[in-house]
Amino acid sequence: MSVTIGVDIGGTKIAGGVVSATGEILARARRDTPAQDPDQIAHDVAALVGELQVGRDDVRAVGVACAGFVDRIGSTVLFAPNLAWRDEPLKRRLEALVDLPVIIENDANAAAWGEFRFGAATEADDMVLITVGTGIGGGVVIDSRLLRGAYGIGGELGHMRVVPDGIRCGCGNRGCWEVYASGNALLREARELVASGALHGAAIAESCGGDLDDLQGHHVTTVAQAGDPAAVELLADLGRWVGEGAASVAAILDPELIVIGGGVVAAGDLLLEPTRAAYGRQLTGRGHRPVAEIVPASLGNDAGMIGAAALAAESVGS
């Protein structure tokens, strides 16, 4: 049986794997991302693909998940906030280097497809993936089809405006959802609490040795799991923002399932229970409509790689 290679290009690493028709990762490889050198990124991806092909003659295509805007036909990366891609013809460049069919997809879209095909959403026809990491990513499947939009930029849920004239987002606008409902938002609030000197934040301060520059999201999660009230409260506040935004998404898309992924989901029910509660409170027509279930993603950091590989397999009829 033939296989495909999935590649996930992020701001710091390029991860790749040989993926079977059932979503199993058969081999892995990775490289650091030369983020400011588009030509080197392409060559490093080609080298990674070559490494994964050693000893195999059954690889039929390559799927590439990119942290950026990808055009509707999966050919060009229009823009990437953390990589030096501007109107980058990545499909053409890679196909010349790897001598295999290549498809390009937005990383959150690819992750959503991975969860839809092989992860937490295999029983759903309509689902939304919300990835709560450094920012918020989104992927949408409607009637078992990936939503890309007219120009390929559909599903950028993190840049839905939730607070008029709110905090400035990295995209340049103010009040985007991801400014309030992301790993960065959690860290901002945790650092502000510790910097205030309040005794309430003492356990969080201790978790990073008192150095705010070293404070990371996993510190807050670990302290919360140990029962610290301040850390629990911070995760509950984050969950409320996630849930309220998800209710707005549901008002537009009416999914049967909402999958929460990204690094912050490691907090489990400390995040998900407040998310579900806020979602239920803000849902339009609550009490008179079905309520989408909210569940954690199951593929973890491999979702984008697996989804990209599955999309590549489908593109060549594997």
CB 305 within 8 A of CB 15: yes
pTM for the model stands at: 0.94
* Nearest residue to 149 via CA among 74, 244, 245: 74
| Residue 57: inside a domain | yes
Same-domain pairing of 230 and 251 = yes
Same-domain pairing of 75 and 143 = no
The 3-state secondary structure of 218-272 reads HHHHHHHHCCCHHHHHHHHHHHHHHHHHHHHHHHHHCCCEEEEECHHHHHCHHHH
CB 61 within 8 A of CB 316: yes
Same-domain pairing of 57 and 77 = yes
Q: What is the pLDDT of residue 318?
A: 60
Q: Please give the Cα distance from 6 to 74 (Å, whole number).
A: 15
CATH number at residue 274: 3.30.420.40
Own/partner long-range contacts of 133-137 (Cβ < 8 Å, ≥24 apart): 133/182, 133/183, 133/262, 133/263, 133/264, 134/182, 134/183, 134/184, 135/170, 135/178, 135/182, 135/183, 135/184, 136/177, 136/178, 136/181, 136/182, 136/245, 136/262, 137/107, 137/108, 137/111, 137/262
Same-domain pairing of 145 and 291 = yes
Same-domain pairing of 294 and 306 = no
| pLDDT tens-digit series, residues 88-97 | 999 999 999 9
Same-domain pairing of 12 and 146 = no
| Residue 56: inside a domain | yes
Determine the structural domain holding residue 147 and report its residue range: 123-298
| Residue 118: inside a domain | no
Same-domain pairing of 109 and 142 = no
Same-domain pairing of 24 and 155 = no
| pLDDT tens-digit series, residues 139-171 | 999 999 999 999 999 999 999 999 999 999 988
Q: Report how many domains make up the chain.
A: 2
* Nearest residue to 161 via CA among 150, 151, 148, 171: 171
| Residue 89: inside a domain | yes
| Residue 39: inside a domain | yes
Same-domain pairing of 201 and 68 = no
The number of angstroms, rounded, from the C-alpha of 140 to the middle of its chain's C-alpha atoms is 12
Q: What is the pLDDT of residue 83?
A: 86
Tokens 């990073």 appear where? 208
Predicted confidence band of residue 138 (pLDDT cuts 50, 70, 90): very high
Predicted confidence band of residue 12 (pLDDT cuts 50, 70, 90): confident
Burial annotation 203-242 (CB, 10 A radius, 16+ → b, else e): bbbebbeeeeeebbbebbbbbbeeebebbbebbbbbbbbb
Q: Please give the Cα distance from 175 to 222 (Å, whole number).
A: 29
| pLDDT tens-digit series, residues 15-31 | 999 999 999 999 999 99
Same-domain pairing of 294 and 310 = no
Same-domain pairing of 56 and 142 = no
| Residue 241: inside a domain | yes
Q: Which two tokens stand for residue 54?
A: 């050693």
Q: Which two tokens stand for residue 17?
A: 């794997």
Same-domain pairing of 183 and 107 = no
